[in-house]
Amino acid sequence: MCGLSQVIISKKSGDVFNPKVVRSTMGAIFRVNIIESESLVDTLKNLKKHKFKIMATSLQTEESIYDVEYKKTAIIIGNEANGVSKEVLEITDKKIKIPMIGKTESLNVAVATGIILYEYVRQKK
């Protein structure tokens, strides 16, 4: 759908191979390389050595998901309760947010991911 080949998750993330998760992906989970990282900070530092830009979602920015280029980029999306960790935010190249109208400040992580990946696909077309 998006053309992504890899997804990196933290060891602290939920079980991506939980039967409900697998069923909800309709098999797409088996077409993506899922990497479980012991240390997300170390993994991201390694990506930076390979010239990847690191972007993270944050409410503490004015930079919109529509203002950035997603070429050779790792996108970090935090959970709705705590967001992206301070340690990860410190090593990011850019902080981005989904612009919203009204009083809602954050979205469910799945919804936010879908919106961001849609913009990624839109830019690729």
- Which CATH number does the domain housing residue 97 bear? 3.40.1280.10
Residue 114, domain member (yes or no) = yes
82 is a domain residue: yes
Instruction: Find residue 96's DSSP bridge partners.
Output: 57
Total tally of structural domains belonging to the chain: 1
Q: What is the mean pLDDT of residues 102-110?
A: 79
pLDDT digits (tens, 9 = 90+) for 57-85: 998 899 999 999 998 999 999 887 788 99
Question: Confidence class of residue 10 from pLDDT cuts 50, 70 and 90?
Answer: confident
Domain contains 27: no
Residues 35 and 125: their CA atoms lie apart, in Å, by 27
97 domain-assigned: yes
How deeply is 92 buried, as exposed, middle or buried, from its count of CB atoms within 10 A (0-12, 13-18, 19+)? buried
Quick check: is 85 in a domain?
yes
